[in-house]
Structure 1
């Protein structure tokens, strides 16, 4: 039997994305309603393919959370000059930097090698290179922000050194790096992190250096998972900071509302991103 709700949602999302992409230049010129300044620096890693998502994500952040000190888009190298100009035109706080100019030159060799063979290795190198001077956010481009995210400002102001992480809805891990079953508990999603201080990555990087075979898609998330737990990271409330695919096969977005802070629209529910993105 054909799942009409699911296929209708997929069609709706595809149509809305095409329309948003077609109007991208006009959308970038629409002023975002004035919001308050917030004591945060934000970083996102994205590519030309995801330009539309990145624009929508940035605009939703500024609209609902506030104007950060800087919102830095780390280009994987594929963004064209025109796309970089478009991103920078969204707001004076937005800037674009090429990943080769952003990543640290003193990263461990195993991380550098991973970055040479896999996109997720480049993401890991970017995460490890983010300068943390006060409250700092990393966000993937397929995240939309909602009015409930205003409490991010309160979290940013907390006098605490512990980072806050987005709980994952499943343990998507590289099993070669998991030495005990207990290490699988409370899975971390690497798509959104609120840093309060620099992380010590050594614990997980030693395991990366010791794996047999090549690192893969889930290796990066496993390193982030192990590192955040080793640094006593604090989970964000999963009812407000949403990563959930329970509504994948129905038409509506069960989780989007003005009460939530954000939703990470991972691949299974990416089409629902475009049911909620605004100009």
Structure 2
């Protein structure tokens, strides 16, 4: 039996994305109706393919959370000069930097090697290079922010110096670098992280250095998972900071509302991103 809702949502998402992409030059010139500044620095790694998602994500952050001190888009190297210009036009707080200029010069060799063979290796190297001076966010481009995101200001202003992470809805980890079954518990999703201090990556990087085979897609997330737990990270409330695919096979977005802070629209539900993206 054909699932009409599922296929309709997929088709609608493609249409909405194409329309958004076609008018993106006009969209970035539309003023964002907020003057609220927030004590946060935000970083996102993205590529030319995801320009539309990145624009929508940045605009949703500024509209619903506030104006960060900086919103830095780290280009994986594929963004064109025109796309960089479009991103900067969103708001004066937005800057774009190539990953080559952003990375720390002294990253472990195993991380640099991973970055040479897989895009997620680039992401790991970028995460490890983020300077943390006060509350700092990393966010993937396929995340939309909602009015409940104002909660991030309270977390940013809190005296509690812990890292907050997004809980994953499945165990998407590289078992080759997990040495105990207990290390699979409380899976971390590397798409959104609120740093309050520099993380000690050494524990997990030793696992990567000892990996005899080639790192894969989920190796990066596993390194982040191990590192955050090693640094006593705290999970964000899954009711407000949403990562779920339980509505994958229905038309509507079961979570989008004014009460949530964000939703990470992972591949299974990526079409729903475009049911909620605003100008």
TM-score, normalised on structure 2?
1.00
Q: Distance in 2 between matches of 1:91 and 1:181?
A: 46
What residue in structure 1 maps to residue 103 of structure 2?
Answer: 103
The Cα offsets for residues 178-210 of structure 1, whole Å up to 9 and x where unpaired, read as 111110000000000000000000000000001
Question: What secondary structure, in the 3-state scheme, does the structure 1 residue paired with 2:115 have?
Answer: helix
Q: What is the Cα deviation at residue 164 of structure 1?
A: 0.2
Q: What is the Cα deviation at residue 113 of structure 1?
A: 0.3
Q: Distance in 2 between matches of 1:30 and 1:89?
A: 9
What residue in structure 2 maps to residue 223 of structure 1?
Answer: 223
What residue in structure 2 maps to residue 159 of structure 1?
Answer: 159
Q: What is the Cα deviation at residue 34 of structure 1?
A: 1.8
Question: What secondary structure, in the 3-state scheme, does the structure 2 residue paired with 1:229 have?
Answer: helix
1:47 matched to 2:74: no
1:210 matched to 2:216: no
1:197 matched to 2:160: no
Question: What secondary structure, in the 3-state scheme, does the structure 2 residue paired with 1:144 have?
Answer: strand
Q: Distance in 2 between matches of 1:193 and 1:250?
A: 29
Question: What secondary structure, in the 3-state scheme, does the structure 1 residue paired with 2:28 have?
Answer: helix
Residues 100-139 of structure 1 aligned to structure 2 (within 5 Å)? 100-139=100-139
The answer (yes or no) to whether the contact 1:241–1:263 under 8 Å persists in 2 is yes
The answer (yes or no) to whether the contact 1:35–1:62 under 8 Å persists in 2 is no
State the superposition RMSD in angstroms.
0.4
Task: Give the ranges of 4+ consecutive aligned residues of structure 1 lying more than 6 Å apart after TM superposition.
Answer: none
Q: What is the Cα deviation at residue 35 of structure 1?
A: 3.1
Gaps of 5+ in 1: none
Question: What secondary structure, in the 3-state scheme, does the structure 2 residue paired with 1:29 have?
Answer: coil
Q: Distance in 1 between matches of 2:84 and 2:64?
A: 23
**Number of residue pairs aligned between Structure 1 and Structure 2:** 279
Q: What is the Cα deviation at residue 160 of structure 1?
A: 1.9
What residue in structure 1 maps to residue 234 of structure 2?
Answer: 234
What residue in structure 2 maps to residue 3 of structure 1?
Answer: 3
What residue in structure 2 maps to residue 277 of structure 1?
Answer: 277
Question: What secondary structure, in the 3-state scheme, does the structure 2 residue paired with 1:270 have?
Answer: helix
Question: What secondary structure, in the 3-state scheme, does the structure 1 residue paired with 2:218 have?
Answer: helix
Residues 70-81 of structure 1 aligned to structure 2 (within 5 Å)? 70-81=70-81
Residues 21-36 of structure 1 aligned to structure 2 (within 5 Å)? 21-36=21-36
